[in-house]
């Protein structure tokens, strides 16, 4: 019996050795460098996914192997500007590698036909006219945020800016997507739906695991944290109830649901299930990413006093009154503030990972031959923090985004590869909410800097040391806010 068991073990070991040699040295992707352990044994990479260390490791490997890195038997990561066009652009229209858990398609997880239909339904809400109609609602929530922060200033107690940015952005997008706020700014607590959303984020990591090990995932999925699975069910239930209330509301509103309901009943209109799934996506994509970037830019400004002083001075000298801080004014009159946001997006992209696309037939990506059935992507964090693309990539320097840096050959940032910076992606599936996100972030950051002097608490000095599960796992960002001297 022991002999037989030993023979089985030796046979399996021999199989692993032969399989590894084949995958590393005889595979169609053998010409692309990468970590051999990851290539031969994808479970090592998946372990990093579960640990929340994948994105940091990919960034490190690009530092070792260069612009193109093989990260698994059939996975290739790029950090070049051309790769953005080849992978995500209109010319090739590569399909998504996986559509995730949801049974009902939404604007993130759908084929090209459904994606175009969803995008058309949402286009009015994200148009210039739609944003103008929504501005008063957004401003009212920002007013409340400022009032709550003033309370912390008067009490002279530290405030967790991550929490308050999240409360604000979730209240805003809840109003615009569901027709009702989550009430977080009023209660100072996360709505149970928001808490469930945070809990369910780590399920995305298990989606990646499922893609590489479908049988193993099926075996162990019953043992996944019931908290994660219940969070997902709770999200869907809340979305269903809230969307139905909005559909049957007799009161007209200027929001995203109004935009999606325009063609209800038509051939290309959205079903109730599609309304629910897309509203859920809007809640997540329109709040968590915005709050993450606001937290990131606040942290980097507080760690760089000169940049903070410059941004604050620009806001306070350009805007004579707080009421002057409007969508229209901030879009044209605060170039340094925009540079700070772009630099924060580079240093701390809310979605640091790569959006995988499947290669249905052999093609060339950034000058590299890619065979059929490969998964390819541009890894945002690796691209943005690479010395191959940016001068002093590990330093927060907003000046690199100002016009003079782009136009003056004497600038140390003149040769920065800005085309490699695409935080909202490119092509037919680029982020439809780009303009709204920029407007909302500029509005909130400008109002905060206009009203307060901010100081980073000692316990948050290393706030940027974080794990990631497609999104960052953000700790508290503890700050002291003080009402500005007028």
Residues forming the annotated binding site for heme? 431
3 state DSSP class of 73 = coil
* Residues facing 453 on adjacent strands: 482
- Catalogue the E-assigned strands of 428-483: 452-456, 468-469, 471-472, 478-483
Query: Sign of the CA dihedral 429, 430, 435, 437?
Result: positive
Angle in degrees, CA 430, 436, 439, rounded to 5: 130
d(CA 183, CA 384): 36
Please tell me what DSSP assigns to residue 412.
Answer: T
478-483 β-sheet, strand order: 159-160, 478-483, 452-456
Please give the full DSSP string across 292-345, using - where no structure is assigned. HHHHHHHHHHHH-HHHHHHHHHHHHHH-SSGGG--HHHHHHH-HHHHHHHHHHH
| Cβ–Cβ < 8 Å for 35, 19 | no
Cα 309 to Cα 302: distance, rounded to the nearest angstrom: 9
Both structure tokens of 62: 């690009």
Phi and psi at 101, nearest 5°, equal -80, -35
Q: Beta strands of 47-151 (E only): which ranges? A: 68-72, 75-78
- CA angle at 204 for the pair 354 and 182, rounded to the nearest 5°: 110
Binding residues, as ranges, are: 431
DSSP 8-state assignment for residue 95: P
- How open is the CA angle 348-353-358, to the nearest 5 degrees? 155
Cβ atoms of 196 and 231 closer than 8 Å: yes
Among 150, 163, 144, smallest CA distance to 481 is for 150
Whether residue 43 contacts residue 72, with contact meaning beta carbons closer than 8 Å, is answered with: no
Q: Rounded to an integer, what distance in angstroms lies between the CA atom of residue 267 and that of residue 269?
A: 6
CB atoms near residue 266 (< 10 Å): 9
Name residue 456's beta-bridge partners: 479
Task: Dig out the tokens for 151 from the structure.
Answer: 């309370």
Is residue 443 within 8 Å of residue 305, measured between CB atoms?
Answer: no
Ramachandran assignment for 106, one of left (phi > 0), alpha (psi -120 to 50 degrees), beta (any other): beta
Please name which of 315, 294, 255 lies closest in space to residue 135, comparing C-alpha atoms: 255
């Amino acid at each position: 019996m022991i002999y037989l068991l030993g023979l089985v073990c030796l046979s399996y070991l021999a199989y692993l050795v032969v399989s590894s040699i084949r995958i590393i040295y005889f595979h169609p992707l053998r010409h692309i460098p990468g970590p051999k352990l990851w290539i031969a044994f994808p479970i090592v990479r998946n372990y990093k996914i579960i640990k929340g260390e994948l994105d940091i490791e990919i960034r490190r490997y690009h530092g070792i192997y260069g612009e193109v890195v093989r990260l698994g038997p059939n996975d290739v990561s790029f950090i070049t500007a051309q790769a953005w066009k080849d992978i995500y652009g209109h010319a090739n229209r590569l399909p998504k590698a996986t559509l995730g858990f949801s049974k009902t398609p939404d604007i993130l997880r759908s084929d090209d036909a459904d994606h175009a239909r969803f995008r058309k339904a949402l286009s009015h809400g994200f148009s210039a006219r739609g944003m103008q109609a929504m501005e008063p609602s957004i401003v009212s929530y920002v007013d409340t945020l400022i009032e709550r922060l003033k309370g912390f200033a008067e009490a002279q107690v530290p405030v967790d800016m991550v929490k308050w940015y999240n409360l604000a952005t979730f209240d805003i997008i809840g109003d615009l997507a569901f027709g009702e706020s989550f009430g977080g700014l009023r209660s100072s607590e996360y709505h149970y739906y928001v808490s469930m959303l945070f809990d369910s984020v780590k399920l995305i990591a298990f989606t990646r695991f499922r893609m590489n090990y479908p049988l193993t995932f099926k075996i162990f999925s019953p043992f996944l944290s019931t908290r994660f699975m219940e969070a997902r069910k709770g999200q869907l239930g809340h979305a269903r109830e809230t969307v139905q209330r909005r559909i049957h509301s007799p009161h007209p509103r200027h929001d995203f649901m109004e935009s999606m309901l325009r063609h209800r009943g038509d051939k290309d209109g959205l079903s109730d299930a599609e309304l629910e799934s897309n509203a859920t996506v809007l809640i997540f994509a329109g709040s968590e990413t915005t709050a993450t970037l606001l937290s990131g830019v606040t942290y980097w400004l507080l760690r760089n006093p000169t940049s903070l002083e410059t941004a604050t001075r620009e806001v306070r000298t350009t805007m004579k009154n707080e009421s002057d801080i409007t969508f229209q004014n901030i879009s044209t009159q605060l170039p340094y503030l925009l540079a700070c946001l772009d630099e924060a997006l580079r240093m701390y992209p809310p979605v640091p990972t790569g959006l995988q696309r499947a290669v249905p037939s052999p093609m060339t990506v950034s000058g590299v031959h890619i065979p059929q059935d490969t998964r390819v992507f541009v890894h945002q964090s690796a691209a943005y923090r690479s010395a191959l693309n940016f001068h002093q990539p590990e330093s927060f320097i907003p000046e690199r985004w100002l016009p003079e840096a782009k136009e003056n050959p004497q600038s140390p940032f003149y040769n920065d590869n800005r085309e490699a910076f695409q935080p909202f992606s490119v092509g037919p599936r680029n982020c439809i909410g780009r303009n709204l996100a920029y407007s909302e972030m500029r509005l909130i950051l400008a109002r905060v800097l206009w009203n307060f002097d901010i100081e980073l608490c000692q316990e948050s000095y290393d706030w940027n040391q974080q794990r990631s599960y497609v999104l960052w796992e953000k700790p508290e960002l503890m700050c002291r806010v003080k009402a500005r001297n007028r």
